[in-house]
Amino acid sequence: MTNISDWTEPATLIDLAGKAPLISTVQECVRHFAALRASHQEEARILLTRPVHREGQKTRVWLLNPDEIAALVVQLRAMQN
């Protein structure tokens, strides 16, 4: 799982199908991702402004995949409850 320490950090939600990106914070990108249909979530990625550690990988990453974003949706919902 990817660990996000600053939810207010700038980020960009991109769509591999070429739709306009959402440039906002990590938190807003995750919220927007949660509202997408499953087929659109499969095409979405979040581009970070600072790399984060990805479990099981030696190097840090700049791009979050749909499964990692979905895990962040769960974290965000847990923080809000």
- DSSP letters for 24-54: EEHHHHHHHHHHS-HHHHTTEEEEEEEEEEB
Whether residue 3 lies inside any domain: the answer is: no
Is there a contact between 45 and 9 (Cβ–Cβ < 8 Å)? no
Is the overall model pTM greater than 0.85, yes or no?
A: yes
Binned at pLDDT 50, 70 and 90, residue 2 comes out as: confident
The model's confidence at residue 55, banded by pLDDT at 50, 70 and 90, is confident
pLDDT for residue 1: 64
By three-state DSSP, how is residue 71 classified?
helix
Does any domain span residue 62?
yes
Q: Sorting pLDDT into bands at 50, 70 and 90, what band is 56?
A: confident
The total number of structural domains that make up the chain: 1
CB-count exposure of residue 11 (10 Å: 0-12, 13-18, 19+): buried
User: Is 2 domain-assigned?
Assistant: no
Q: What is the pLDDT of residues 10-42, one digit of tens each?
A: 999 999 888 889 999 999 999 999 999 999 999
